[in-house]
Structure 1
Amino acid sequence: MDLQWIIVQRGDTLPRIASAHHMTKELLAALNPEVASQPYLLAGQMLRIVPGTGRRYAVPPGESVGEIAGRFGLDEEVLRQANPEITNITDWVGRCIHIPASNGKTIVKIQGEYGYRELIRDIDKLENQYSFIETGSIGTSVMGKSLPYLRIGQGSRHIHVNASVHANEWLTTAVLMKFIEEYAEAYGAHRAWHQYQTERWMQETTLWAVPMVNPDGVELVQEGVVNQHPHAQQLLAWNADRSHFTHWKANIRGVDLNDQFPAHWDEEAARRGMTSPGPRDYAGTAPLTEPEAQALAQWTRQHTFDAVVSLHSQGQEIYWNYRDLEPRESGPLSRRLAKASGYKAVKLGGSDAGYKDWFIQDFGRPGFTVEVGLGVNPLPVEQFDDICIEVGMLLAELLSNGQ
């Protein structure tokens, strides 16, 4: 076995390193049992790797590079780029080559985990590739991270979708970004997305996406408080001295951002019964104390959204009502979204202070909380492709407005 050593950098995680070196996370952990038992990696640690594992293929006599690419559903150029040491050699017969994932040309993909740095990288790539995508920022997080938005479309009907309000629900960010890329790619190629006409979406609607409302929390879940995290001592105290943060939903100040909106906030705070910061369910000392919630509320007030969707996980459910304040079309629309996605439309009671609650209350237009996937958060990345289809069909139906 051809073992090599790498040095862990700040922000590295076992899933990210494994993906970067075409290894399974299980193999990487087996090669490094002493660090696999840690909750998070420490910058400067050295790990054993076996690069180039993953899908391998021994090229038989008579098979060309183009034929290999076709067999695995790849473009020949993608296959050559995945094997840089022999990319310019004509005959690959007898060589053991690496077969990349078939989505090699796509921008949005999960390489171990999907966090803030992956989001910023992909936004830059999408903006560079598609001139009709506009990007910007709605504000900043507690720790000063920009809260980016993307806009696609030129129509008079405005739809807003946000994701990763809760830290350990970061898979929703990748799902939303994947839909934006597929929409942009289809429109740029003048073709439909499934049976939906993207040119009609572009002309009739404007989609505003805020893919990661809680970037500090997402980073905490994925990377922990090692490597000189500025809030390490306080966060460990709020986390009952547990060093693992995968269950964390709140922002970096221990406030649950989906309990922060001025829609019967006091009743929700009393119902939760949380009087101090922690991993989840603490509503803060008042509505909109947190910069992430403030930014989202102010940005919402600055636009005239015809409908909003907040992506959460998990449960495969669509919550569409709020204290009977929702407009008449919300119920029928939720059932259409449910039919398109395979999710269940649910009339929810006993819940306040969420983003869609506040939107329905203050603007009187349809608002939806969509709980994607099934299981325990963070959802396994193996669900990503299925959730992308489910949420994609839901958003497509919403953008099409029944047409």
Structure 2
Amino acid sequence: MHRIFICILGLCLLFVSPVQGKTEKIVQTSQIYTYEKMLKDLYLLSEKYPNFIEYKTIGKSTLGKEIPAIKLGAGKQHVLFVGSHHGREWLTSTLLMKMIESYSEAYYQHTKVGQFDPRILDEVSIWFVPMLNPDGVDIQQKGMLAFPLIHQQLLLEMNGNDLNFKKWKANGIGIDLNRQYPAGWKEIKGDHPFQSYQYYKGTQPLEAVEVNALVRFILEEDPLISVAYHSAGRVIYWAYKNDKNNVNRDKAIASKLSTLTGYSLAKPPKTAVGGGLTDWFITHYKRPAYTIEIGYRVKETNLPLSIFPEVWKRNNGVGLMIAEQAKVIKPLN
């Protein structure tokens, strides 16, 4: 009888505990990662790690999709990671969702992610906004036929009357979200003069509701470091009018990122003279911010799924490393 009880208890623990044994991963990285898949995965992860993952909506996209933010850890200080400013760069959403799952699992199982201990999240939490531009991702992945007829003609015009939407970067009404932040916005040159699939900065900064929502969220949460993930170049951008007293600090963290990922440090191209999240965060807070480009340059389309294992190998520890580095940054309050 005693043996039977022990067997039953063991089975119960196996099913009750979300962290014992090998289980199938929730975030699947070998498939096109849609907005709907992300929402489903966030629900499942929140159910699996209810005392570790905090979920909130920071706003809605132009076409009405909720923009989720996820916090890992109980640390009073925060760092921020943002993916999919651009529609065709949705592999960055896959990457951040994989981080969320891997860090949660490692924390519960008391294991490390590479060289990094997830217990840092007891001191510094990570806020993730995995998909800032869900409309742009939808347009790029599904094309205009996935949208109401009344919006299809506008999409076609913004795409240069091209039925191939794989090149789409902008939000749902043709504004490039990474040209919408106040720092350097007026200096942006060579952009499209009207709504387009890419490079239209809008009529004023913070015009796009997605960026407006993110900036309000940042001002509320006061993160110590910001990281924006993009797709093209395998480089790290870290410099934009950095305060001279902070240059050495900011570059030192950038160098550690470079060592960890194997990506080179770079100066922004002439076409990226301002208007980005990294630009605004550096100038507004005088704190470190980084734009990490995860893949090789492709023509106007998304990175192939086949590159993800390499991307993950390079980046799996970045979130925890940034959380560790945040301990040297002084908050405003």
Paired position in structure 1 for 2:19? none
From 282, 285, 301, the counterpart of 2:219 = 301
Contact 1:323 1:349 in 2 (8 A): no
The CA distance in 1 between the partners of 2:159 and 2:116, in whole Å, is 46
Residue from 276, 279, 282 that aligns with 2:200: 282
Q: Distance in 2 between matches of 1:369 and 1:325?
A: 18
Deviation at 1:292, TM superposition (A): 0.2
SS in 1 for 2:162: coil
Tell me what 2:100 maps to. 180
* SS of alignment partner, residue 226 of structure 1: helix
Cα deviation per residue 1:280-312 (whole Å; 9 max; x = unaligned)?
100001111110010011111112211000000
Matched residue, 2:308? 384
- Which structure 1 residue ranges, 5 or more long, are not aligned? 1-102
Q: How does 1:179-258 map to 2 (within 5 A)?
A: 179-199=99-119, 201-229=120-148, 230-258=150-178
Write out aligned runs for 1:391-402 (5 A).
391-401=315-325
Corresponding residue SS for 1:287:
coil
The partner residue of 1:314 within 207, 214, 232 is 232
Q: CA deviation at 1:191?
A: 1.6
Q: Could you tell me whether the CA contact under 8 Å between 2:118 and 2:320 is conserved in 1?
A: no
- What residue identity is the alignment partner of 2:287? R
What RMSD in Å do the two structures reach over aligned CA positions?
1.8
Bigger CA drift: 349-358 or 313-322?
A: 349-358
Higher Cα radius of gyration: 1
Check conservation: 1:139, 1:146, Cα contact below 8 A: yes
Measure, in 1, the Cα distance between the counterparts of 2:147 and 2:56.
30
SS at match of 1:339: helix
Deviation at 1:239, TM superposition (A): 1.1
Higher relative contact order (Cα pairs below 8 Å, separated by 6+ residues): 2
Aligned to 2:45: 126
Q: 1:165 aligns to what SS in structure 2?
A: coil
SS for the counterpart of 2:127 is strand
Give the Cα separation in 2 of the matches to 1:319 and 1:184: 28
Q: Deviations over 1:179-204 (max 9, x none)?
A: 110000011112222221112x1222
Match of 2:292 in 1: 370
Contact between 2:236 and 2:264, CA under 8 Å: does it hold in 1?
Answer: yes
Question: Which residue of structure 2 lines up, in the alignment, with residue 4 of structure 1?
Answer: none
Letter in 2 for 1:150: I
Tell me if the contact between 2:179 and 2:276 (Cα under 8 Å) persists in the aligned partners: yes
2:281 to 333, 337, 359: 359
Whole-Å separation in 1 of the counterparts to 2:67 and 2:312: 22
**Could you state the TM-score of these two structures normalised by the residue count of structure 1?**
0.71
Q: In structure 2, do the counterparts of structure 1 residues 375 and 348 end up closer, same or farther at CA, with 3 Å as the change threshold?
A: closer
Q: What's the CA shift for 1:325?
A: 3.4
- Number of aligned residue pairs: give it: 299
| 8 A Cα contact 2:76 2:123, kept in partner | yes
- Secondary structure at the counterpart of residue 312 of structure 1: strand
* Counterpart Cα distance in 2 of 1:380 and 1:273: 27
**Are the equivalent residues in 2 in contact too, given 1:322–1:349 (CA < 8 A)?**
no
What is the CA–CA distance in structure 1 between the aligned matches of 2:194 and 2:58, rounded to whole Å?
Answer: 28
Q: Is the 8 A contact 2:113 2:316 kept in 1?
A: no
344 and 378 in structure 1: CA distance in 2 versus 1, 3 angstrom threshold:
same
Task: Indicate the residue corresponding to 1:155 in structure 2.
Answer: 75
Single out whichever of 317-326 and 201-210 deviates more from structure 2.
317-326
**Equivalent of residue 25 in structure 2, options 84, 102, 106:** 106
What is the distance in 2 between the residues matched to 1:358 and 1:402? 18
Moved over 6 A (4+): none
Distance in 2 separating the partners of 1:181 and 1:228: 31
Instruction: Find the aligned partners of 1:402 and 1:316 in 2 and give their Cα distance.
Output: 23
Cα distance between partner residues in 2 of 1:293 and 1:228: 22
Q: Classify 1:125/1:232 alpha carbon distance in 2 versus 1 (closer, same or farther; 3 Å).
A: same
Give 5+ residue unaligned stretches, structure 2. 1-21, 328-333
Q: In the aligned structure 1, how far is the partner of 2:76 from the partner of 2:213?
A: 23
Q: Is the 8 A contact 2:77 2:223 kept in 1?
A: yes
Could you say what secondary structure the match of 2:96 adopts? helix
Letter in 2 for 1:400: E
* Displacement after TM superposition at 1:272 (Å): 2.3
- Report the structure, 1 or 2, having the larger helix content: 2
